[in-house]
Structures are given as structure tokens and as C-alpha cells.
Structure 1
Amino acid sequence: MSLIQKHEQNLAGRDFIVGDIHGQYDLLLEAMARVDFDKAKDRLFCVGDLIDRGADSFKCLSLPFEPWFFGVRGNHEMLAIDALENGGKNEDLWMINGGTWVITEDKVEVRQLLLDALTYLPYARQVEVMGQQVGIVHAEPPADWSLIEGASAGSKEEMVWGRKRIKSMDTTPVAGIDAVVVGHTIIEQPTWLGNVFYIDTGAFQTGRLTLINAQEALG
């Protein structure tokens, strides 16, 4: 699978982008209802972390198979697959970071569902919105968006785990893209750093799941 998937403009309906869901399936449905989301023609893009910390993680793991849903992989999807494939310390790390929901599920079934879901969860997506290009990664975009296509293992890890930009409040624009939407780091309200828009408002802690019209990602 390509590291990035590109999407032409949605001429039939609207595009939305949602923050880290973390098993908050009902919050997602409420957010979609508020914007009268039409599954027949609207598209929902997600910045990753569909699972962990929330009771409905198993339900959320089925979202990538919906024809209207387009996610990227987050660090929690990667924690989970490492745990389910390798066990040991990987499993301990997953449990500490919100993987305990799997205890009441069939681990073999969860492992297969996650493996299948990951085939629908690239590291990045790029969406045409009003003639401009909006990128989506979970955590940290590269300095130049074009570098994603041939990203090294270290660069891929940065895309799902990185926090350098937000820790240093770096406002340097990402080159080669009009805007990038990310999650991963919980913030009080959606925040811009250069052309990077942070939208993870900590749904599992705050009950606030941010869902924006993709046009808002263009400032």
C-alpha cells in the first residue's frame, strides 16, 4: 500500500475532518448528526487513533471499512498491532496506553480486524478542497510534503508519534501543501501552527470531539 492516498475534490457532497476518536463511537455519531452528515455523498477524514481509551474501540475499528470514512494510521493503531503480533513488553505498553478494552474481546478476531483495517489506513492522505490541497497525518508532517512518498522508517515513525513542532511552537509552514491537519497532541481548542492545524481536543477526557468542514482547514 502507498504511504499516501490522494483524493480529488468531492463534487457530490461535503468533506469533513475529525480528530482522534479513541473509541468514542457515540460522540462521533453525535458530531456527524450535528452537521447532517450524508453517508451517500459526504466524506469523513480522520487524523487517526480510532481505538484505545474508549469502550467502543472495537466498533471504531470497523470504521475504515465504511465507504464514506477515510482515516490515517495513528500511534494507537501501531501500538495495538505491535502488541497483538509480538506480545510481551509490547502488550504491556499497549495496556498502559489504553488497550485494556481488548480484554473483553476475542484477541484473534481483533488482530485480524486490525490487520484488515490497516490496509485502509495509510500514513497520510491528501484531499483537494476548493482547488487547494489539504494533507492529513496523525502527528507530525515532514518539512516538505513531497517527502512522504519515499519516507524512511524514521520519518514514518515521526508521522505517527512526532511532537517536535508543537513542543517548540514551530510556525514554519510545511512546503508543498496548502495546509495539513493533525491530531495526536491534546489541545484545549483547535490551533494553527503555520499551515498545520491541530484538532485533537481529547474526546476520551473532555467529551469534545472536534469535527470540522474541510474548508476550515484552509484558514
Structure 2
Amino acid sequence: MTDFAIGDIQGCYDRLKDVLGKVDFSPSRDRLWVAGDLINRGPSSLETLRYIESLGNSAVVVLGNHDLHLLAVVLGGHALKRKDTLAEILNAPDRDKLVNWLRQQNLCVHDAERNLMMAHAGVPHIWNVEQALASAREVENVIRGEQAPEYFAHMYGNKPERWDEKLSGMDRWRVITNYFTRMRFIATDGRLELTAKESFGSAPEGFAPWFEFSRPDDLRVIFGHWAAIEGKTGIDRFIALDTGCVWGGALTMMNLDSGEKIHCDC
């Protein structure tokens, strides 16, 4: 069995099939780790979602901000945005099945043998592995449970800016969600700066890319979300896989054991 991790697909189904074809991917023997943002902005969100769901246990998926946006539209009463390409999913006969499957996915996954964690935006330096997993499980349980409509109705927002163990309810869930799915720039004390989306060379004053801070461990992290850095962090154990396929860049996949990266131009 070979495990591959892939960056933000965002509904680019044809390019997904192209890059999988380059390694002769087969769900009968291989697994695909998907670093979030399976859907939205690209032309084939429904096909992409159906395909990843069809992989069953051969897919390891974390939720990205665009995936959560679909759930916020369905469960939280939010409207589609002008650039969204989610209408086909919303009108599909198997919509409920796909939405329910999406709700079962994680915010982060951890492979202890590989000392590896995958989260859509990354893992903040203020949490060790156990804290990150506990925080993720807390919000995952909300997304899967009866409080999901309340959560998605109030999910959006940049406050609170910083984690505090004393936080509760929606404030607590929101900041956890923002760390895992929206984080780019962060301060030493864990404060998030969520408005800047440029490359890491233009960090707002007092902030730096999350992966430039020392961690309390030697954890390796796979993430997507930040197309502007073009897959480059400058630090080997922080592996960026969003290379901007939906923006005309490339779709990038990596063999988790050899480290080989496979690209498909978009």
C-alpha cells in the first residue's frame, strides 16, 4: 500500500484524475490523504466530492474552509457567494448523502508512526499533538451532532483572535476552526491575523507564518490552504501542498514515504 497526500483540489476533478493516473493510483491498494478544500471555485465540485466519498477507507480527509462553507450553506442558513461553484452539489439527488459524509471528516489527522499530522491550514505552535487532537475532536463532535446548525450559523468571524482554555461555546469552536482551516500568519502568543493572504515575505507587523515558530516537538505537518507560497516553506518538516491548481498553477501530490512530489499543470 502506498499513501499519497494531495493539496487543494477545489473541484478540479479532471486534474485530480490526471495526477492520480501518473502513479497508477488504485483504491484497492493505495490511500489518498486530502488536505482539505476538496470543492469550490473549480468546475467539477460535485464530481470531485462523489469520487473522494467513493474511495471509502482509501481516503483520509481533513476539512478545509471551502468544505465548511458548503456545510454552512446547507446547515447554517448562509447564502452562496458570487464565486462559489457549489450549486451543482446543492441540487444533486445525493446531496444529503454527500453532506452527511463530509460532516464525518476530521479537522486534523495524526499518523504517530510517521510523526505526521495533516490539517488544512496547519497546526499552531501553541498546541502540542495531544492538544491539537483534543481541540479538533471537540469541534468535530459539534459538526456531527445536534449543535451543528448553531455552529454553522455563527462559524464565520475573526474573533476571538487567540486561543484561551477558558473560552467556551461558539467563541471556543470558532477559534479552533480558524486555526485549523484559515490560519496563515500568527503571533508568538497565538494571536491570528486572518486578513492577510499574501506570501510569507509580507507578514503584517508582529506576525509571521505559523510554520516559522518553534514547536514543542519535532512533528511533521502537511497542509494546504496557502497557494501564495507556491508549495514552499523553507522548512523540510512543514510540507505545503496547495500550489494553486484552481488559479492556473498546479495540483501537487506527494508520496508520504519517499517524499516524491507529483505535479499536474492546471
TM range (shorter): 0.7 to 0.9
- Are 1:118 and 2:103 an aligned pair? yes
Deviation at 1:65, TM superposition (A): 4.0
Check 1:108–1:64 CA distance in 2 against 1; reply closer, same or farther (3 A cut): closer
C-alpha distance 100-43 of structure 1, shift in aligned 2 (>3 A): closer
Structure 2: distance between partners of 1:187 and 1:199: 11
In the superposition, relative to structure 1, how do residues 207 and 172 fare at CA in structure 2: closer, same or farther (>3 Å)? closer
CA distance in 2, matches of 1:177, 1:215: 17
Deviation at 1:145, TM superposition (A): 2.4
Letter in structure 2 aligned against 1:132? R
Query: 8 Å contact 2:42–2:85 — kept in the other structure?
Result: no
Deviation at 1:188, TM superposition (A): 5.5
Provide the rounded CA distance (Å) in 2 between the counterparts of 1:39 and 1:211: 15
Please report how far the alpha carbon of residue 47 of structure 1 lies from its aligned counterpart in structure 2 after TM superposition. 0.5
Report deviation, 1:207: 4.7
Look up the SS of the partner of 2:239 in the other structure.
strand
In the TM superposition, what are the counterparts of 1:80-159 in structure 2 within 5 Å? 80-87=70-77, 90-91=78-79, 94-96=80-82, 98-102=83-87, 105-106=90-91, 109-119=94-104, 121-128=105-112, 131-143=113-125, 144-151=128-135, 152-153=172-173, 154-159=175-180
Contact 2:40 2:66 (C-alpha < 8 Å) held by counterparts: yes
Distance 1:124 1:209 in 2: 21
CA shift, 1:38, in A, is: 2.7
Q: Which has the larger radius of gyration?
A: 2
CA contact (8 A) 2:36 2:62 kept: yes
TM-score (norm 1): 0.79
Shift of residue 193, structure 1, vs aligned partner: 5.1
- Report 1:69-84 matches (<5 A): 69-84=59-74
Flag the 1:150–1:105 CA change in 2: closer, same or farther, 3 A.
Answer: closer
* SS of 1:80 mapped into structure 2: helix
Residue in 2 aligned with 1:4? none
Runs of 4+ in 1 over 4 A off after TM superposition: none
Q: Deviations over 1:8-48 (max 9, x none)?
A: xxxxx111100000001111111111122232111110110
Candidates 58, 65, 71, aligned match of 2:46: 58
* TM-score (norm. length: structure 2): 0.66
Q: RCO higher in 1 or 2 (8 Å CA, sep ≥ 6)? A: 1
Range moving further from structure 2, 35-44 or 19-28: 35-44
Q: Give the CA deviation at 1:202.
A: 0.9
Would you say the 8 A contact 1:139–1:158 is kept in 2? yes
- 1:38 equivalent in structure 2: 26
SS at match of 2:71: helix
1:201 aligns with 2:243: yes
For residue 111 of structure 1, report the CA deviation from its aligned partner. 4.7
Change (3 A) 1:103 1:33: closer
Deviation at residue 78 of structure 1 after TM alignment: 0.9
| Aligned match for 2:223, one of 182, 187, 201 | 182
Give the aligned CA root-mean-square deviation in angstroms: 2.5
Cα distance in 2 between the residues matched to 1:64 and 1:15: 17
- Which one is further off, 208-217 or 53-62? 208-217
